[in-house]
Chains A and B, each alone.
Chain A
């Protein structure tokens, strides 16, 4: 079983739909992250949860709503998205506050908003 699992792998949704992305980590880490990856742009950090508390919200529009029910699970709830929100959404985990703790990424959800 891989360390960080994301579902679904692909998602196509209309602008009026509501959907959720799921992330589960089996590494015993205590921090989880949502990143957005768009073509030719650096990975953008969206949200950080450490010990199940949100510690970072990088000015993300309210149409993205994260949820972290426990240290192993992370969700990203989506509603009334825009076409420019189409991207690869990556979940990651790490052990914090261990110095230089690397990020362990899932394989992402490829989201297309029509």
Chain B
């Protein structure tokens, strides 16, 4: 069974601090997606990484896909209260033929205090 382990599960920080969330697996994924979910809403896609070693930036968010395509990280610089939410990583197992059978991590709940 392919699993994605996210760490930490919960993070509470002050506005302006930096943080990193990790998404790890022993399996290879053809791509990894990061979603953010706010209370009362569904997850919303932030980014998709597809190439081993790839780094993508979205304003203060930096996403990295591991060289072996088994892990990914999300780094937030100078966190703001608006970054508060549940961050989910989701992997597309290699050879899944793009049927949408994403495997999700259990999520990291981020709370940024003003």
Contact surface of A with B, Cβ cutoff 8 Å: 4, 31, 33, 40-43, 45, 48, 50, 55-56, 90, 92, 94, 96-108
Contact = CB atoms under 8 A, between A and B. Distances in A.
Nearest to B50: A100
Contacts of A48: 99-101
A35 B33 CA distance: 16
Contact of A96 (B44, B99, B102): B99
Interface of B: 4, 9, 31, 33, 35, 40-45, 48, 50, 88, 90, 92, 97-107
B42 A105 contact: yes
A56 B102 CA distance: 12
Chain B residues touching A, majority SS? loop
Nearest to A35: B104
A107 B100 CA distance: 19
B101 A4 contact: no
Contact of B100 (A4, A43, A90, A94): A94
A107 B41 contact: yes
